[in-house]
Chains A and B, each alone.
Chain A
Amino acid sequence: MKIHEYQAKKLFKKYGIPIPDGDVASTVDRAKQIANKLSGFPVALKAQIHAGGRGKGGGVKLATSMDEAIQFADQIIGMTLVTDQTGPEGQKVKKILVERGLNISEELYLGIALDRSNAKIVIMASKAGGMDIETVAEESPEKIIKVFINPLLGILPFHCRDIAFGLQLSLSVMKSFYEILTNLYRLFVDYDCSLLEINPLVTTKEETMMALDAKINFDDNALFRHKEIVDYRDPDEEDPLEVEASKYNLNYINLDGNVGNMVNGAGLAMATMDIIKLADAEPANFLDVGGGASEEMVEIGLKIILSDKNVKGILINIFGGILRCDVLSKGLVEAARKTGINVPVVVRMEGTNVDEGRKILSESGLNLTMAVDLKDAAQRVAKLVTNG
């Protein structure tokens, strides 16, 4: 799960990580009030959307006067911001963060992530702050310092020294850097973060350190123990169909194609999307109804697929294990009766109780195409959507 910069900065504040003075606004008036309170310019105005690359897209401005601040706030609030991470449709800006400008002397990068391959927490730091860190990692990996931490031991003083001296920090900011790093690590572990980034972490001319930006992603699996983080969820940042599906524990991702598909199990669902593509059609979604899906979940899944107006045909691929084919078939018949399926549906079923399942479908009177195997199913649905 992702949160906004202003929300991440609230957590920073709680953990004693210095951030610039400021506040969040959703109206120009409120932005003006905040700028007034900061008493002095420049003032930074930053669009609050989840996607990165906000600066390049015109979502971050530095105002040198109140007139400029008002003008920029008016521009940014309500704009549809397109960055290289939002996709061409962009993301509408509803809130801006208004912050005091700083006398920056150096911009650093500091990040904490989970390293899958060796099951350690990795701290990454670089003098190349303010830039896209993935580009730095690709073009000059030697500029990134990495320190691996055993989660059973936690962060130790030598980890901090390795990074601080690696960054060639001046001794005057060393102590505050250690504090920032250990507090950041504590925040990361306390809240089950999957990624935490400050880009840039700045040293000021006054020899202080401050987190100019803040990005935090959380491990979805751990949200059950962080109710206050769940409250930070912003549904405006998510696809409405995906929000609906998540209410029923369905794994649904909306895509650009026109072949809707419903599958049990994530791996088979991905493979089904691939085989649709292989048959020269485009998948409209990823939908995993899970191993233990009920009749009701099958019904809701189908409803969600059908509410995507791009869908011209549906492929249902179920390998019955825990989810039995007869249960699926009943759900399907029920859903078809209630929602009225107005596009062709191809069904491919295999596994537990497959004969009963096929019988239920063939006796239902519904207009379904039964496929003999996976390849047949993909080819049939592709043909149906291309021939109208």
Chain B
Amino acid sequence: MNLTQIAGGIVGIFVDKNTRLLVQGITGREGQFHTRQCVAYGTRVVAGVTPGKGGQKMDHTPVFHTVKEAVGQTGANCSMIFVPPPFAADAIMEAADAKINLIVAITEGIPVLDMMRVKNDLSGKPSRLIGPNCPGIITPGECKVGIMPSPIHQPGGPIGVVSRSGTLTYEVVHQLSREGIGQTTCIGIGGDPICGTSFIDCLDAFEKDPETSGVVLIGEIGGTYEEEASEFIAQNMTKPVVGFIAGLTAPSGRRMGHAGAIISGGSGTATGKIAAMKKSGIHVCEDLGGFGRFCTTVFKDA
């Protein structure tokens, strides 16, 4: 389910039409709603997990008590998690323990210490975690593992999108599609202080993906992910990158909705991030209203 399979005509990174999706928390309100949306988009949803509800069905999808059981019976290789915050870290580690390749945690509000334990636990395991507190990942036209509105996407590439935000990504993707710029894969890495997958992981995969010819990177205040990404781009990327940073007007010391979006002690400012991006040759768009047109200019030769 990765780049190596591109020979078979598969577009995008991390998820594609061969992805076999399992949904943890499938019987909850959000789990049900978004599972149906993913099925409607064409994602192969093979199983659900809700402890205590094994043996039941959610629409046509079989529900299991445990992830191991679900993987054994259905060959699921990707999990989407809607489990509430107090139990979400446990759910992620359960998926990793069952050797799920890709774990996409949608849940918002997981305690930071829980996520630190998860991150350290996963560091020795082959599973990739995207999120938490993220909209998920979509390879338009092939596979959606997340909660993003489907119709705004345009299949076929050639642009990859990676972002820390949800609705801001929808805004950007919408503008891209309106300009006739399709997407290979769009990934929301999440707005929490600890993310399973970083900008760098995604940039690296987009750089290696032959179908992707340019990347859009949407950052925001807080932390140093954007600075690290800028460094990586300067050193390793040949494809053009358009960047945007939200939070130029955000006050210091306040948590701006996302747990990770906070300027602390003068670090993590939008100005600092924009400077780092420009220095690394990233095409920084400072006017969200004109983002689509800006991309058309930058990517016209890409």
Contact = CB atoms under 8 A, between A and B. Distances in A.
Does B bind A? yes
Interface of A: 114, 116-117, 119-121, 134, 137, 150-152, 189, 192, 194, 219-222, 224-225, 251, 253, 255, 263-271, 273-278, 283, 286, 288, 291-292, 319-322, 350-352, 373-376, 378
A270 B256 contact: yes
Contacts of B149: 320-321, 351-352
B261 A266 contact: yes
Contacts of B257: 251, 265-267, 269-270, 286, 288
A273 to B, nearest CB: 5
Interface in B188-232: 191, 193-194, 218, 220-221, 223-224, 228
Contacts of A220: 255, 259
25 contacts: A116-B260, A117-B224, A119-B115, A121-B116, A150-B120, A219-B112, A224-B86, A264-B167, A265-B168, A267-B168, A267-B246, A268-B165, A268-B246, A270-B249, A270-B261, A271-B288, A275-B287, A275-B289, A278-B289, A286-B256, A292-B30, A321-B147, A321-B166, A352-B149, A375-B290
Contacts of A189: 113
B251 interface: yes
Interface string B250-278: 11001111111100011000100000000
B152 interface: yes
B170 interface: yes
Contacts of B193: 114, 116
Nearest to B166: A265
Given A321-B148, A375-B290, 8 more contacts: A120-B120, A150-B120, A221-B109, A251-B256, A265-B167, A267-B261, A270-B256, A322-B147
A358 to B, nearest CB: 16
B116 A319 contact: no
B194 A116 contact: yes
B117 interface: yes
B120 A151 contact: yes
4 nearest CB pairs, A to B: A267-B165, A266-B257, A375-B289, A265-B167
Nearest to A379: B289
Contacts of B266: 134
Interface residues of B, number: 62
Nearest to B33: A322
The winner among B167, B168, B194 for most chain A CB atoms within 10 A is B167
A190 B75 CA distance: 38
Given A221-B85, A319-B171, A267 B254 contact: no
The winner among B163, B169, B170, B248 for most chain A CB atoms within 10 A is B170
Interface string B77-93: 00000000110000000
A296 B120 CA distance: 40
A151 B246 contact: no
B170 A351 contact: yes
B135 to A, nearest CB: 8
A245 to B, nearest CB: 12
B234 to A, nearest CB: 18
A350 B248 CA distance: 23
B111 interface: yes
Given A273-B250, A374-B288, A192 B112 contact: yes
B289 A374 contact: yes
B111 A117 contact: no
Nearest to B86: A224
Nearest to B164: A267
Contacts of B265: 134, 137
Nearest to B251: A255
B191 A266 contact: yes
A373 B289 contact: yes
A319 B111 contact: no
Contacts of B246: 267-268, 270-271, 274
B110 interface: yes
A239 to B, nearest CB: 11
A267 B248 contact: no
Contacts of B171: 268, 271, 319, 350, 374
Contacts of A269: 256-257
Contacts of B170: 268, 319, 321, 351
Contacts of B270: 274
B44 interface: no
B249 A267 contact: no
B247 A274 contact: yes
Contact of B121 (A134, A152, A292, A320): A152
Nearest to A113: B264
Nearest to B84: A224
Interface string B113-136: 111110111000000000000010
A286 B289 contact: no
B165 A221 contact: no
Contacts of B191: 266-267
Contacts of A273: 247, 249-250
A263 B254 CA distance: 17
A120 B86 contact: no
